[in-house]
Structure 1
Amino acid sequence: MRSPVGGVAGADNVGIGWRHPHYAELLERQPALAFLEVHSENFFAPGGAALAVLEQGRAYYPISLHGVGLSLGSAVGLDAWHLDQLARLVQRIDPVRVSDHACFARGNFQGQVVHAADLLPIPFTTEALDVLCTHVDQVQDRLQRVFMVENLSAYLRWNVPDAERVWAETEFLTTLARRTGCQLLVDVNNIYVNALNARTRFGETVDAIHSCRSWLDAIPADVVGEIHLAGHCHVNDAHGDIVIDDHGSRVCDAVWDLYRHAITRFGPVPTLIEWDTDVPALDVLLDEAGRARTHALGACA
């Protein structure tokens, strides 16, 4: 199912994250974009100004709903209320894509289910894969559409018992897609952040670019439904050196290089420019979207 609107002419397959500072200006200017992406949870209220703005945007652009709270990998199950709100929003907006992350946020703490308000990594084990598949199936059955799952930037790792099989992330995600029929949302910046942190946080000797290209090469093209691009930051303090996927700056040259490689692998799939912190002027996002179009066209030439 697709939205009845088709985006503004000349937009190719590139969209931007539509955040509050740009609501009015984007509606007034209507720049050439293939789609807008919003965070689903910001529009769960049954009415109000936010939902009214989203419906105005939908009159001009296809909408992609990207969630951060489903907690697909949680061992305590999905939050029925959250899924209800998402289903209602999907029915109202009829988005072109709906997505969330391969992570967990909900867990059992001292006998109560609590929400961490963060995207926490899951172990790449068979048991975790079974939980994730069950929940993705549940979401797709409820929404009656194909769902997308995004790879995570992670800042810690699980200690898994030696007897437990640990899958490669790419094999884990590919198996998820094959078993459930879902698609993958490939966040290129997340792959690069993880490769950098493998050296600084976990002491591995890796070539970050080569590692990321190998990651992309291991994902079948037919399961990829969207690509995310964003900026990251380096933090070096008393606690150590870490790279954070903060979505607060322009896409770096290394990620652009990886994006070109991704496009040669997956084809011209829809691509999003994400910018969530220190949100700049709209023209900066549009410039990044233009760069994405240029790189995609060059990679497909």
Structure 2
Amino acid sequence: MLKPVQPASPASGTGLPLRCGLGFKPEHFRALLETQPDIGFFEIHAENYMVEGGPLHHCLGQIRSSYPLSLHGVGLSIGGEGELDAAHLDRLATLIERYAPAVFSEHLAWSSHGGVFLDDLLPLPYDRDSLDRVCAHVDQVQTRLGRRMLIENPATYVEFAASTLTEAEFIGEVVARTGCGLLLDVNNAYVSCVNHGRDLWAYIEALPLAAVGQIHLAGFARDTDAAGDPLLIDTHGAPVAQAVWDLYRRVLGRVGAMPTLIERDNDIPPLPVLLAEARCAEGMLQELAP
């Protein structure tokens, strides 16, 4: 059995410690049992645990008894044109009641249409119709769960000519109208701004930074588009790039210490490799400690 690890820093407004966490991967469970690393928290994808029992819940129960937990959804389709899947939302509520995570977050994206679920997080036009729909969906989720959620800024590769708001304006409106928080994915911000030729820091400054409750860091892959311009792909399959580390440090200087997650969902390395990345983030967080 894992032993409880006491947070080495104060808790944030979300209930997570002001430290770095990792995504929990079952393949690391034995190493976690053996080493009991001093890590801030673990995050899981909600949809992987929407079953009643089995080995995944056995492992997660032990993790939850020893570490704070963050729950990250990938399937609510907050930006979808249709109504939210009530059964999916009920399963999510059951999972939250079971594990009482400190944070629940979802993506500003859509992933289902007409009862068909797509294995991707797709962009939406930033116009008034989309804004009304997303706000209604966020209100529905927060009412059903009885808690504030965080919305994550997306990594995108196309933009809509029909958009009448910038992405930062759109997110700001959602936060203002619903009271939700912002999960600031620094890697997504970097990827999207490179892909669309945006001013990166101007984009960051235009976001509702006072609503940030958690930060994500991840790796990306480099490609080129049909015009030969740089195209970055949010793969979660590589170490955090130096440019993203540099942006993260600057963001921390702007918003203060925030619970931070290292995301790695593909080409998952041994646990010590991820712990080393987490220590890098912790070093930057400690620079802001009182």
TM normalised by structure 1 equals 0.87
Corresponding residue for residue 188 of structure 2: 190
Corresponding residue for residue 274 of structure 2: 285
Which of 30, 41, 44 lines up with 1:35 in the alignment? Answer: 41
Aligned pairs for 1:219-238 (under 5 A) are 219-236=207-224
Change (3 A) 1:133 1:100: same
Task: List structure 1 runs of 4+ shifted beyond 6 angstroms.
Answer: none
Corresponding residue for residue 70 of structure 1: 76
1:56 matched to 2:62: yes
Shift of 1:300: 6.2
Corresponding residue for residue 149 of structure 2: 147
Query: CA deviation digits over 1:214-251, x for unaligned, max 9?
Result: 12212233210100001101124879652110011111
Between the aligned partners of 1:6 and 1:167, the Cα distance in structure 2 is: 44
Shift of 1:156: 1.8
Q: Residue 157 of structure 2 contacts residue 196 of structure 2 at CA under 8 Å; is this kept in 1?
A: no
Question: What SS does structure 1 have at the residue aligned with 2:287?
Answer: helix
Gaps of 5+ in 2: 10-16
Between the aligned partners of 1:119 and 1:170, the Cα distance in structure 2 is: 18
Which of 237, 240, 248 lines up with 1:248 in the alignment? Answer: 237
Change (3 A) 1:156 1:190: same
Query: CA deviation digits over 1:27-63, x for unaligned, max 9?
Result: 3322111110011101000111111111110011011
1:126 matched to 2:124: no
Shift of 1:12: 4.6
Query: CA deviation digits over 1:245-299, x for unaligned, max 9?
Result: 0011111111111101111121111100001110011111111111011123336
Between the aligned partners of 1:32 and 1:258, the Cα distance in structure 2 is: 25
Which of 162, 172, 175 lines up with 2:173 in the alignment? Answer: 175
Query: CA deviation digits over 1:45-87, x for unaligned, max 9?
Result: 0111111111110011011000110000111111111111100
Aligned pairs for 1:17-32 (under 5 A) are 17-32=23-38
Q: How many residues align?
A: 279
Corresponding residue for residue 202 of structure 1: none
Between the aligned partners of 1:12 and 1:225, the Cα distance in structure 2 is: 10
Between the aligned partners of 1:242 and 1:99, the Cα distance in structure 2 is: 27
Query: CA deviation digits over 1:156-197, x for unaligned, max 9?
Result: 22231xxxx611111111111111111010000001111221
1:271 matched to 2:264: no
Query: How large is the RMSD of aligned CA atoms in angstroms?
Result: 2.0
Q: Residue 8 of structure 1 contacts residue 30 of structure 1 at CA under 8 Å; is this kept in 2?
A: no
Between the aligned partners of 1:82 and 1:266, the Cα distance in structure 2 is: 33
Question: What SS does structure 1 have at the residue aligned with 2:66?
Answer: coil
Q: Residue 183 of structure 1 contacts residue 225 of structure 1 at CA under 8 Å; is this kept in 2?
A: yes
Q: Residue 256 of structure 1 contacts residue 295 of structure 1 at CA under 8 Å; is this kept in 2?
A: no
Shift of 1:24: 2.0
Between the aligned partners of 2:282 and 2:274, the Cα distance in structure 1 is: 12
Write the letter of the residue equivalent to 2:59: V
Write the letter of the residue equivalent to 1:174: G
Write the letter of the residue equivalent to 2:184: V
Which of 215, 219, 224 lines up with 2:203 in the alignment? Answer: 215
Gaps of 5+ in 1: 200-205
Corresponding residue for residue 106 of structure 1: 112
Between the aligned partners of 1:143 and 1:6, the Cα distance in structure 2 is: 27
Between the aligned partners of 1:243 and 1:267, the Cα distance in structure 2 is: 27
TM normalised by structure 2 equals 0.90
Question: What SS does structure 1 have at the residue aligned with 2:148?
Answer: coil
Between the aligned partners of 1:82 and 1:239, the Cα distance in structure 2 is: 40
Question: What SS does structure 1 have at the residue aligned with 2:154?
Answer: coil
Percent identity, please: 43
Between the aligned partners of 2:33 and 2:231, the Cα distance in structure 1 is: 38
Between the aligned partners of 1:14 and 1:25, the Cα distance in structure 2 is: 18
